[in-house]
Amino acid sequence: MNKPSQEKLDYIRENFDYFDEDKNGHIELKEFVRLLKVIEPSATIEQAQEGFKIIDSDHNGSIEFDEFLTWWESCWWQY
C-alpha cells in the first residue's frame, strides 16, 4: 500500500475519530456497527461482526487507527 498524502491521512483520521464515539483511540464493535450502517444501511449485525473480525487484524477486540487505515485504503467500499 502506498503511503497516503497528509491531506488524505487527515481525512481518514477525521472519519476514524468521528466513529470513535468514546474517544479512546480505537473503535469497538458497537461503534463499528454504527459506521457500517452509515456506509451500508442494509448491513446486518452479522455482517458487521464478520467485518469487524477481519479488520481487527491483531484480534484484540478493537480496531486501532492503523487497522482502520489499512481497511479504508484497501476495501471499505466492499460493504
Specify the DSSP element, H or E, that contains 49: helix 45-55
Question: What would the pLDDT profile of 5-30 be if each residue is shown by its tens digit?
Answer: 899 999 999 999 999 999 999 999 99
The DSSP call for residue 42 is T
Which pLDDT does position 1 carry in this prediction? Answer: 53
Over residues 42-50, the mean pLDDT reads: 93
In the chain the domains, ranked by start, together with CATH numbers, are: 23-78 (1.10.238.10)
Give the Cβ contact number of residue 72 at 10 Å.
18
Check if the beta carbon of residue 55 is closer than 8 Å to that of residue 68.
yes
How far is CA 37 from its chain centroid? 12
SS3 4: coil
Q: Using the predicted structure, report yes or no on whether residue 44 has a pLDDT greater than 80.
A: yes
Predicted confidence (pLDDT) at residue 39 exceeds the cutoff of 80: yes
> pTM of the entire structure?
0.86
